[in-house]
Amino acid sequence: MALGGTIRGKKTTLRLPIEADLEMYNRWIADMRVRRAHRVWHEPAMPATWKERFKEIAKDKQNVLWSIDAGGSLVGFALGHLWTMGNGFDVNQLVIDPDEWRKGYGFDAALALHRYVFDYLDLRLATFELRADNGAALKIVTKLGHTEFAHGHEVDYRDGAYVDEIKLRMDKETWHERWSAEREYPPLAADATR
């Protein structure tokens, strides 16, 4: 993986996954609350297949997977992809254990991830792809400052009907305007070279 390491928020820590996380990943992907809120990341959801998924992610230097801890317990995972040409990062999955919903872990993890993307990696753009009826995720990305740039009608089939999907984006300038007080990493000097 090209990215990774540990990212600390106020309530959560994003870290590289370990094999012991597999059982919880499997439980979340099989949970109907998660399946309803998110596009399922691969099928079937079985522990044996998660080991293979970890290997697949590690092979692609532009993919990254973090486990999300809170108070010493595993509470979720985040999956993302660095754009081939650089300057952008797609958040493909941000899953929080349904038993831990409404505790602020999703927002805290998303904010920490954005600090990493914009302040540490110095990327220009972050995107999210969500089901249009995922109110909790929409609230998080809207609070962060994302705006909709694409809307797919009847993209995902769920519960006997199709569901719309939206794509949202935030650029570095918006990040700086909204979250300058939350910066963990100082801005690069104008004459800094990479």
Q: Would you say residue 117 lies in a domain?
A: yes
Measured distance CA(171)–CA(179) in Å, rounded: 12
pLDDT for the residue numbered 2: 45
Question: What is the pLDDT averaged over residues 127-140?
Answer: 90
Question: What is the pLDDT averaged over residues 141-170?
Answer: 88
- Least confident range from 46-55, 138-147, 149-158: namely 46-55
Q: Are strands 7-8 and 63-70 parallel, antiparallel or unpaired?
A: unpaired
The pTM of the whole model exceeds 0.75: yes
Looking up residue 29, the CATH number of its domain turns out to be 3.40.630.30
Domain count, the chain: 1
Supply the range of the domain harboring residue 15: 7-182
Q: Would you say residue 2 lies in a domain?
A: no
What pLDDT band is residue 171 in, cutting at 50, 70 and 90? very high
Q: Would you say residue 193 lies in a domain?
A: no
Q: Would you say residue 189 lies in a domain?
A: no
Q: Would you say residue 1 lies in a domain?
A: no
pLDDT for the residue numbered 40: 59
23-32, pLDDT tens digit by residue?
Answer: 898 888 778 7
Q: Would you say residue 191 lies in a domain?
A: no
Would you say 112 and 8 are in contact if contact means Cβ atoms under 8 Å apart? yes
Q: Would you say residue 75 lies in a domain?
A: yes
* SS3 of residue 77 by DSSP: strand
Q: Would you say residue 156 lies in a domain?
A: yes
